[in-house]
Amino acid sequence: MVICQNIFKSYGTLPVLKGVSIEIAKGELACIVGPSGAGKSTLLHIIGTLDKADKGNVRVNGIDISTLKQDELAEFRNRQLGFVFQFHHLLPEFTALENVCMPAFIAGKQEKAAQQRAKELLDFMGLKDRMEHKPGELSGGEQQRVSVARALMNQPAVILADEPTGNLDTERSEELHTLFFDLKKTFGQTFIIVTHNEKLAEKADRTFAMKDGLLV
């Protein structure tokens, strides 16, 4: 499903990744843990095509991402990947429903079909009564669940989450963790999650520990 082989990445003279190889199967929830500066987010961004490795190979759903041209990368990112960040990055002027529909509209899907799927996802997230609310009218936990629904919109091969609970309190964090495992169980969704949360890492199917740009 996701295979990274011997990934190297430097910024200027600073080596950030020094030959990292990981493999994550379809339907697994994998966590990447380690201290700040270990290279966790850089690895996630390379898998997500938001950054490029200096050396090494990444395959997602059987596709070697290094062979994709710029326009192909954008389409691949929209259709195959879902992103959840520490901050929800919802568009403030649009409702929860409209925000969730965005990836489908970008992919050229019809409005009726997009809205139907978005409503089903928001209902699954426990947000049936909040669909017409704008982000500023939602709690932090609700905003993050909307961003998860948006990430799921195009039925991606994998969801990449970078410190998704970093901005939430303990109770909301637990709720989001439960949601991730429900999605894994119900839809067979694959997750790669960068986290400092030990409880989440302990429950994961697979945990990769990183330090100084290497797996440990």
pLDDT at 58: 94
Let me know: does 4 contact 23? Beta carbons within 8 Å: yes
| 15 CB neighbour count, 10 Å cutoff | 15
Cα-Cα-Cα-Cα dihedral of 203, 207, 212, 215, to 10°?
A: 160
| 95 CB neighbour count, 10 Å cutoff | 18
pLDDT at 57: 93
Helices (H), the chain: 40-47, 70-80, 96-106, 111-124, 140-152, 170-187, 198-203
Give the total residue count for the chain. Answer: 216
Let me know: does 103 contact 121? Beta carbons within 8 Å: no
Q: Which helix (H) or strand (E) holds 209?
A: strand 206-211
Q: Which helix (H) or strand (E) holds 160?
A: strand 158-162
Give the orientation angle of helix 140-152 with respect to helix 111-124, to 10 degrees: 130
Six-digit token string for 108? 């050229």
Domains of the chain: total: 1
Residue in the structure block whose two tokens are 């997602």: 60
Question: What tens-digit pLDDT sequence spans the chain (216 residues)?
Answer: 899 999 999 999 999 999 999 999 999 999 999 998 899 999 999 999 989 999 999 999 889 998 888 889 888 888 889 988 777 689 999 999 999 999 899 888 898 999 999 999 999 889 999 999 999 999 888 998 899 999 999 989 999 999 887 777 888 888 888 888 998 998 899 999 999 888 888 999 999 999 999 999
CATH of the domain at 43: 3.40.50.300
Measure CA 193 to chain center. Answer: 7
Range of the domain at 71: 2-215
